[in-house]
Amino acid sequence: MAVGFELQSAAEVTVSIHTQDGKVVRTRMEGRAVSPGRYERSPAGDASAGWDGTNESGQVVSSGIYLCRIQIGDRVYSRRVIVIR
């Protein structure tokens, strides 16, 4: 799954995946300084924020609804993600 976002100016970005009860499943970017621009379907590397459906231990997560949380500076955005296996 690609996590897309656009920045008008440089900012610190954190992208994380959570269970519905708020437990962190995976953190993809944590407080990383990111340059302005559009980030979507990012290849692996500096601005990569994709999620492969695994937890921090590399185990595949079960089917269900998860929350993708994107923090850009002091603003927080959330999106629901449905995993079907």
Q: Give the residue, 13 or 39, on which the prediction is more confident.
A: 13
Confidence grade of residue 44 (pLDDT, cut at 50, 70, 90): very low
Closest by Cα among 32, 36, 20, 21 to 70: 32
Confidence grade of residue 83 (pLDDT, cut at 50, 70, 90): very high
Mean of pLDDT values over 5-14: 84
Domain tally for the chain? 1
How far is it, in rounded angstroms, from Cα 34 to Cα 44? 15
Q: Nearest-5° angle of CA 7, CA 11, CA 21?
A: 90
Domain span holding position 53: 5-83
Confidence grade of residue 4 (pLDDT, cut at 50, 70, 90): confident
pLDDT tens profile 52-75:
899 999 999 999 999 999 898 899
Mean of pLDDT values over 35-60: 73
CATH of the domain at 47: 2.60.40
